[in-house]
Amino acid sequence: MAGRGPAPKDPSQRLRRNQPPAPQRVYECEPVTQPDLPPLYLPDAEGKLVRRRWPAQTKRWWETWGREPMAADFRPTDWDFLIDTALLHAAYWQGAVSLAPEIRLRVAKLGATAEDRARLRITYANADEAEAKRSKPERSSARERRGPLRVVG
């Protein structure tokens, strides 16, 4: 008796063959600087597009993304995606609160929060330094604090 259980299935009869993934394509592309926000047009009560000023919150949000360390690697499509998201952000601050879930999903793709960055496996260099400092014990060991053991008698 050779082994336990049924004989393995013939590989040609398997539905899942676990083929290796397609090779990764590598393109050359230079990062670009953050563009300015374009003119803002939002619908009025009648549904007509009216030029408006960008809300202060959206301007601050846009500047924050420009200072983000990851922005140094953003490509034109990343900035276009963020401009579209800025439009939603502005509409949100104009009262379209139903856009909040879409904004959250969009900024999560780019690593807006600590949780998003953890999911995307993004780490800031200063976070590594802080972790290294935190992992060192601040206090000495009990043996160092109390000295050698002595016999009491």
| 137 assigned to some structural domain | no
Domain hosting residue 40, numbered range: 31-132
Q: Which residues contact 66 (CB under 8 A, 6 or more apart)?
A: 34
| 151 assigned to some structural domain | no
| 24 assigned to some structural domain | no
Contacts 24+ apart (CB under 8 A), 82-85: 82/110, 83/35, 83/37, 83/38
Count up the domains in the chain and report the number.
1
Note the pTM of the prediction, 2 decimals: 0.67
| 2 assigned to some structural domain | no
List C-alpha distances in Å: 137 to 128, 140, 142, 147.
16, 7, 12, 18
- Average pLDDT per run of 10 along the chain, which is 153 residues long? 79 76 84 94 88 96 95 93 97 94 96 94 76 64 72 76
| 104 assigned to some structural domain | yes
State the chain's mean pLDDT as an integer: 86
Query: In terms of C-beta density within 10 A (0-12 exposed, 13-18 middle, 19 or more buried), how is residue 91 classed?
Result: buried
Q: Per-residue pLDDT tens for 50-88?
A: 999 999 999 999 999 999 999 999 999 999 999 999 999
